[in-house]
Amino acid sequence: MNILLTIFTFTAFSVLILFSFLIFKIYSGKSIKDPSYPPVSGTVFHMLFYFDKLYDYQTESAKTQQTFRLLSLENSQIYTTDIRNIEHVLKLNFGNYSKGEYNQEIMTDLFGDGIFNVDGEKWRQQRKLASFEFSTRVLRDFSCDVFRKNTAKLVKAVSEFAITGRIFNMQDVLLKCALDSIFKVGFGVDLNCLDGSSKEGTEFMKAFDEANALVCWRYVDPFWKLKRFLNIGSEASLKNNLKVIDEFVNKLIITKRNILTLQQDSIPKEDILSRFLAASQEDPETMNDKYLRDIILSFMIAGKDTSANTLSWFIYMLCKNPVIQEKVVQEVKDVSGNNELEETTNIDDFVSNITEETLEKMQYLHAALTETLRLYPVVPVDGRCAEMDDVLPDGFRLKKGDGVYYMAYAMGRMPYIWGEDAEEFRPERWLETGVFQPESPFKFISFHAGPRICLGKDFAYRQMKIAAIALLRFFRFKLADDTKIVTYKTMFTLHIDGGLDICAISRNS
């Protein structure tokens, strides 16, 4: 009994010492009482406590203070919704801000040296090559053809649910469709996740999404490095998921390289991976298989999550706002010249006739998708790290090593940015005499801004609009349960927690 009491006392004392040390590290050297630094709203432990509702916690904080900070062990984490600060960090003083060792250390196991996790020459090299590829007409035409073909498959899959009256998880269906599209456009591979024939592809998608969430958890887990060393808990799960991801991607690279060797120059290199593999021949030491793996995962998350997550939230908002759903449907009818939705309309024929001109005319749909991104941005929080001491435009100072994070999710809900109806889903805010009017990218930050603005923005809109036009042409959507609270899962990208259970009703019936 005395031995147990001694062990308990020693353990409690050790925990107390460790906790005291952490508190000391968090509060020391942070200029807490200096009003020239952003006001302190809490510590990283607040992020841990509110993790499941993290973006709503940040939203409430931002309503009272546009710029605030949370204290961490080494530095401060500054959070802001001030548009001037965001432009300063992402553009005007771009050279003073990087991803930072803190962010890179957390994200490297998953994203490695991919474009989202690097600075300097590696970023410039990937950006230059990707920028060139995204500007080519060959890639645009190829991607649109892929989007149309996979959208036709998507409509047919949803049609089976509609015919049988079954409730289905719309987010899961959209994620599989988007994964098929990005693998074809990005890597020239027919994954066939949507039709269920690729068990390996489905396992890869599950592993990647779980790894996404587990890496995000590191931001609030002070013991993640110890857990990684001991290979226990969340870090053990992450390691298992990374093994699935790496095996799948490495197999893809080897297969693709063998195909290109056999084809040589006989077939145009339409997909992005083929072009990166061609570039790797000029610099094989730098652009090795590990580097290509990191590039692939960066393109994968950009291509899959941007479109699938946004379309999921879009369908959800249309279910909550049936009048807006019908406004989009009316535009589809008007633009497609198909006011009478005849039962004989063929899915493949309809989708194949969605041209670039059709997409350009869909102004209300474009506004509705953009309004969805305003309220449900794909990346709810993003940021940079100060390389040198700086002063933000709002007058607050920050120290070298401090993180500066802009809160896209919170920004979409700020009355001082979007007006008193900021939390209302209102596509009309983007229209002037029926024509879409863009906002400053530092105000509407869903596609980042400045030199690192998203290269695939136009591709994402094309993919989403093609899918939305076809889905709404053939189906009316309703939530399976109107009383269920639909919310997000806290990860780098804004997934709907638990999926989106939907009923699809055929518009031909």
Dihedral over Cα of 412, 212, 86, 400: its sign: positive
Lowest mean pLDDT among 278-282, 353-357, 367-371, 451-455: 278-282
- Three-class DSSP category at 132: helix
* DSSP single-letter state for residue 485: P
- Give, in degrees to the nearest 5, the angle at Cα 277 between 272 and 283: 130
Lowest mean pLDDT among 92-96, 264-268, 368-372, 487-491: 264-268
Q: What is the pLDDT of residue 197?
A: 67
- pLDDT category at 344 given cuts 50, 70, 90 is very low
CB 89 within 8 A of CB 97: yes
d(CA 481, CA 150): 28
Residues 6 or more apart in contact with residue 39 via CB below 8 angstroms:
65, 68, 69
CB 69 within 8 A of CB 428: no
CA distances for 206 relative to 57, 209, 244, 496, angstroms: 27, 5, 10, 14
Q: List, for residues 409-436, the tens digit of each pLDDT value.
A: 999 999 999 999 999 999 999 999 999 9
Cα atoms in the 13 Å half-sphere on the side-chain side of 245 = 26
CB 241 within 8 A of CB 210: yes
Q: Is 100 left (phi over 0), alpha (psi -120 to 50) or beta?
A: left
CA distances for 381 relative to 78, 311, 354, 397, angstroms: 12, 19, 34, 21
Report whether pLDDT(322) > 70.
yes
Cα atoms in the 13 Å half-sphere on the side-chain side of 84 = 8
Q: List, for residues 370-417, the tens digit of each pLDDT value.
A: 999 999 999 999 999 999 999 999 999 999 999 999 999 999 999 999
Q: List, for residues 117-153, the tens digit of each pLDDT value.
A: 888 888 888 888 777 767 777 778 888 999 999 999 9
Q: Which residues pair with 504 in a beta bridge?
A: 477
Q: What is the pLDDT of residue 107?
A: 92
Architecture of domain 33-506: Orthogonal Bundle (1.10)
Q: How far is CA 53 from the centre of its chain?
A: 17
- pLDDT category at 287 given cuts 50, 70, 90 is confident
